Homo-oligomer: A and B are copies of this chain.
Amino acid sequence: MTTGKPDAAALIALDWGTSSLRAYRMGSDGQTLDARHLPWGIMNLPQPVQDGALSAAPADQDSRFELAFEHACGDWLRAEPHLPVIACGMVGSAQGWREAAYLDVPVDLRQLAGQLTQVPRQGTPLHIVPGLIQRHGLPNVMRGEETQVAGVLDTLGADADDLLIGLPGTHSKWVSVRRGRVTHFDTFMTGEVYAALRGHTILGRTMSDGGADPEAYARGLRVAGAPAGRAGVLSTIFSARTLSLTGALTASAGPDYLSGLLIGHEIATLAEMLRQQGATPTLVLCGDDALCDRYRLALDHYGLGTPAQARHATERGLWHLAHAAGLVRATLTETP
């Protein structure tokens, strides 16, 4: 730090999704000084409290976004009122605070910083990163992952080329990048399908929470690509029940077996698409550690190697985009 205030920040960055809100107070070198994880995703905004009780009338959406914003970084902004604020994720969707643009794929990611959507507030405005939309074939969209991809590219440097970046999650994304351009991406609803099958079909009835079962996970992975898996995922998932009926799968092994089946089908399909395209991109994973571990096993099983994992990609991406948009530089005019 070169200023007299060792904790002075340069940016507030928000990763604001459907079910959670992460806030980062970042220093002038892009380092994270403080981080908060709040449950105030856009589908779960807080209700204002008056005189200790929930207000009788539901608050308008703007007030609820303001309240979540206050929880996330109100004190940070009062201490340093001139900090710029940037956000990515579903906060820019039609159900978000303000609808941000979608940029059309293929797109050079350097265009992101020039297309931020400003949300005027009484105090500091919020700048929302645009999402990406792919209109050829079946349409596809992302909000938030474009920022993670920008963060991965910022970490890997300009030499990185012909990448396939995997972003496992509720909806996992596989993003092809060539020379800083997103050329294509696919979405698999694997995480959400897993939750729906486990919670709301007969498959969940014979399952118990028994902790991690790596062998059951590996078994599911193998089945998806074996001759027995040729009937596809609508068929193979029934084996989570029949293997239990025949005593070949314990109740506690069920969840990891089903997880292996679904991730296995996703990665088997991905491997087949790459094979048909004759593509051999460099793979990078980005996301939750435990989930990336699962995907690394699947990629290895289906012959796609063991990719590196990019960490802190969202913070890196938000920092990079704020910098490229000129938001950060404007705050660095401090006097010594």
Taking Cβ atoms with an 8 Å cutoff, the residues of A that contact B are 94, 133, 135, 137-141, 171, 186-190, 192-193, 195-197, 199-203, 223, 227-228, 230-239, 242-243, 245-246, 248, 262, 265-266, 269, 273, 276
Residue in B closest to A198 when the chains form the complex, CB atoms: B196
CB pair B171–A269 under 8 Å, yes or no, is no
What are 23 A-B pairs at a CB distance below 8 A?
Answer: A133-B246, A138-B223, A138-B238, A139-B243, A140-B238, A140-B239, A140-B242, A141-B242, A171-B238, A188-B231, A188-B235, A189-B235, A189-B237, A193-B234, A196-B200, A199-B200, A200-B200, A230-B276, A232-B265, A233-B233, A233-B234, A234-B265, A235-B269
CB pair A197–B188 under 8 Å, yes or no, is no
CB distance from A83 to the nearest CB of B (A): 33
CB pair B243–A138 under 8 Å, yes or no, is yes
CB pair B139–A231 under 8 Å, yes or no, is no
Query: In the assembled complex, which residues on chain B have CB atoms less than 8 Å from the CB atom of A199?
Result: 200
CB pair B234–A138 under 8 Å, yes or no, is no
CB distance from A314 to the nearest CB of B (A): 21
Query: In the assembled complex, which residues on chain B have CB atoms less than 8 Å from the CB atom of A232?
Result: 188, 232-233, 265-266, 269
CB pair A227–B137 under 8 Å, yes or no, is yes
CB pair B201–A189 under 8 Å, yes or no, is yes
Residue in B closest to A192 when the chains form the complex, CB atoms: B201
CB distance from A168 to the nearest CB of B (A): 12
Q: Pick the residue among B195, B202, B231, B239 that contacts A192 (CB under 8 A).
A: B202
CB pair A196–B192 under 8 Å, yes or no, is no
Which of A138, A187, A192 has most chain B Cβ within 10 Å? A138
CB pair B265–A138 under 8 Å, yes or no, is no
Residue in B closest to A262 when the chains form the complex, CB atoms: B234
Complex CA distance for A11 and B57, rounded to whole angstroms: 63
Complex CA distance for A133 and B246, rounded to whole angstroms: 10
CB distance from A265 to the nearest CB of B (A): 6
Query: In the assembled complex, which residues on chain B have CB atoms less than 8 Å from the CB atom of A238?
Result: 138, 140, 171, 187-189
CB pair A139–B239 under 8 Å, yes or no, is yes
Q: A138-B236, A235-B266 are in contact. List 9 more A-B contacts (CB 8 A).
A: A135-B246, A138-B242, A141-B245, A189-B237, A189-B238, A192-B201, A193-B197, A196-B196, A230-B269
Complex CA distance for A133 and B193, rounded to whole angstroms: 27
Query: In the assembled complex, which residues on chain B have CB atoms less than 8 Å from the CB atom of A195?
Result: 200
CB distance from A38 to the nearest CB of B (A): 21
CB pair B235–A186 under 8 Å, yes or no, is yes
Q: Pick the residue among B94, B141, B230, B273 that contacts A230 (CB under 8 A).
A: B273
